[in-house]
């Protein structure tokens, strides 16, 4: 009887500990999300204006650079919450830091390219957060209606603004993807991206430069963290 009572007490204590830890991490995640959203909203208010006549976005790059020299571009997919600065770093520092270099598990949208948007292919990374922030909305491209209503998006840089047109969406493991493309030249990559796309997307433009958006995918994922990635590939042209 004593053993049974002791076991019950032990289980209750374990439950309380596990519950408390879960609440702690939930509150921590919510706090970091709120901080990330608030800082991004403030950044948008401080550095972006919309011309009332032309509706053109005017970005104060000098102000952005005064906050962080690593801010090199801005991405916006209308109709989604993807409206963020893009940062450049040689490693994955911005996986766990916001644009102002404060630790935040939401991270930032970033690239490790040496010459972003000047290279033939620029890869842009962002977390797929459970809260719906960062690149979470990229998973919606698996819905054909969403795809065709969000086929185009904008990337702004200090030197040039780009219109991006999506021509491939797919999910695959990182190792498999790297093995598939490691020996391909640019034109061969384009053919590969078109072939593996979930949908056949008509794109008759000459593709000379592309952006590859990458975030975690839980399609066919057997492990957490997952090694699967959503890839959204878009042709970009100056506007």
237/98 Cα distance (integer angstroms): 28
Question: For residue 178, is pLDDT > 60?
Answer: yes
22/194 Cα distance (integer angstroms): 42
Helix (H, G, I), strand (E, B) or coil at 56: coil
**Residue range 192-209, pLDDT digits in tens:** 999 999 999 987 678 999
CA of residue 235 relative to chain centroid, distance = 17
Q: Does residue 147 or residue 206 have the better pLDDT?
A: 147
166/232 Cα distance (integer angstroms): 7
Q: Does residue 170 or residue 11 have the better pLDDT?
A: 170
Please state the rounded mean pLDDT for residues 187-196. Answer: 95
212/169 Cα distance (integer angstroms): 10
Q: Residue 58 — left, alpha, or beta (φ > 0 → left; ψ -120 to 50 → alpha)?
A: beta
**Residue range 81-119, pLDDT digits in tens:** 999 999 999 888 999 999 999 998 889 999 999 999 999
Judge whether 43 and 67 are in contact, CB under 8 Å.
yes
Q: Give the 3-state secondary structure percentages of the chain, helix then strand then coil, rounded to 5.
A: 35, 30, 35
Q: What is the architecture of the domain spanning 69-238?
A: Beta Barrel (2.40)
Whether the bond between 225 and the residue before it is cis, its omega within 30 degrees of 0, is yes
Cα dist from 81 to 75, 193, 200, 213, whole Å: 11, 25, 26, 15
**Residue range 20-31, pLDDT digits in tens:** 544 444 444 555
Lowest mean pLDDT segment, chosen from 11-20, 31-40, 94-103, 206-215: 11-20
Token pair, residue 87, equals 């940062």
Judge whether 85 and 71 are in contact, CB under 8 Å.
yes
């Amino acid at each position: 009887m004593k053993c049974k009572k002791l076991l019950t007490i032990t289980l209750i204590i374990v439950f309380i500990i596990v519950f408390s830890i879960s609440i702690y991490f939930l509150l921590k995640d919510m706090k970091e999300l709120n901080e990330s959203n608030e800082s991004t909203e403030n950044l948008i208010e401080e550095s972006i204006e919309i011309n009332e006549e032309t509706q053109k976005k005017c970005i104060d790059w000098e102000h952005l650079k005064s906050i962080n020299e690593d801010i090199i571009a801005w991405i916006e997919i209308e109709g989604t919450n993807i409206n963020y600065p893009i940062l450049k770093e040689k490693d994955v520092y911005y996986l766990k830091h916001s644009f102002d270099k404060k630790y935040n598990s939401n991270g930032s949208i970033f690239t490790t390219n040496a010459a972003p948007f000047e290279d033939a292919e620029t890869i842009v990374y962002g977390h797929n957060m459970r809260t719906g922030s960062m690149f979470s909305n990229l998973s919606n491209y698996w819905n054909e209606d969403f795809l065709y209503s969000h086929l185009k998006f904008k990337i702004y840089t200090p030197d040039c603004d780009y219109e991006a047109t999506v021509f491939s969406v797919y999910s695959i493991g990182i190792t498999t993807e790297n093995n598939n493309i490691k020996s391909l030249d640019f034109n061969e990559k384009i053919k590969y991206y078109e072939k593996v796309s979930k949908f056949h997307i008509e794109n008759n433009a000459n593709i000379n430069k592309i952006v590859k958006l990458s975030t975690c995918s839980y399609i066919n994922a057997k492990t957490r963290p997952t090694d699967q990635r959503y890839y959204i590939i878009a042709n970009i042209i100056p506007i």
